[in-house]
Amino acid sequence: MIAGALCLDFINTLDDRYSGEPKELLNRYLDLACFGEDAGILSGAQADHLFQRSMQSPAPAKRALEAAVRMREAMYAVFWALVQKKPVPKAQLMILNSYAQEAARHMSLVQTNGDFEWEFDELGSEFDAPLWPIARSAADLLASHQLQFVRACASKTCEWLFLDESKNHRRRWCDMTKCGNRAKVSRFYKRKKDASG
Ligand SMILES: [Zn+2]
């Protein structure tokens, strides 16, 4: 979870998109439940509960997983177009909208200590529930001033999306240890190779 926004971390669950051999990290419903727990949208108990239910009812769990992947790819298409400063594909934005609307149906205003906030329905209640906060995160980011700081990692095989929250907004790597160091090492080798002629 390094992207600085839940929806971007979710997009990155198709790893190494540009390597020619992308790695799908959402292969089973369990993976979605684990992502939910790692991202802090599900408690351990909620993730366990959903996983147990997915074992008992594999067909609806599989449909929820497929819906999650469909949502992710729509999010990817929209954010990637924005990062590339290209027109956002309308069909993908429509798909994303349908998920955002579904998420909104599962939110209520609640008052706590005098303040109001949006609260989701019980997130352990439905196989689709982990999708709601992710869809909401994408909607919030798209409608925010932060949108201009969404970047793609400078590594050409990685291109993970992240929100550049650094002070001068010049962050280039999804993660310094994952890609930044790799790039540094390859520059180092290139220099050595060039020097040795
Ligand atoms: Zn990267």
Distance 162 CA to ligand 1 centre (A): 9
pLDDT at 26: 96
The residue whose two tokens read 């993970």 is 160
pLDDT in tens, 162-192: 999 999 999 999 987 778 776 666 666 677 6
Distance 38 CA to ligand 1 centre (A): 19
What pLDDT band is residue 65 in, cutting at 50, 70 and 90? Answer: very high
pLDDT in tens, 68-122: 999 999 999 999 999 999 999 999 999 999 999 999 999 999 999 889 999 999 9
Note the Cα 172 to chain centre separation in Å.
Answer: 18
Task: Name the percent of the chain in helix, strand, coil, to the closest 5.
Answer: 55, 10, 35
pLDDT at 185: 67
pTM score above 0.85: yes
Structure tokens at 106: 């599962």
pLDDT at 184: 64
Q: What percent of the chain has pLDDT over 70?
A: 94
pLDDT in tens, 111-166: 998 899 999 999 999 999 999 999 999 999 999 999 999 999 998 888 899 999 99
In sequence order, what are the beta bridge partners of 118?
A: 109
Note the Cα 183 to chain centre separation in Å.
Answer: 23
Structure tokens at 82: 């924005």
Residue type, 87: P
pLDDT at 159: 87
pLDDT at 183: 65
Instruction: Say if residue 45's pLDDT is above 80.
Output: yes
pLDDT at 19: 78
Rounded to an integer, the average pLDDT of 2-29 is 91
Residues, CB within 5 angstroms of ligand 1 (ion): 153, 155, 158, 160, 174, 179
Q: Would you say 159 and 18 are in contact if contact means Cβ atoms under 8 Å apart? A: yes
Distance 183 CA to ligand 1 centre (A): 10
Distance 58 CA to ligand 1 centre (A): 34
User: CA Rg, the chain, in Å?
Assistant: 19
Instruction: Say if residue 3's pLDDT is above 70.
Output: yes
The residue whose two tokens read 């369990």 is 30
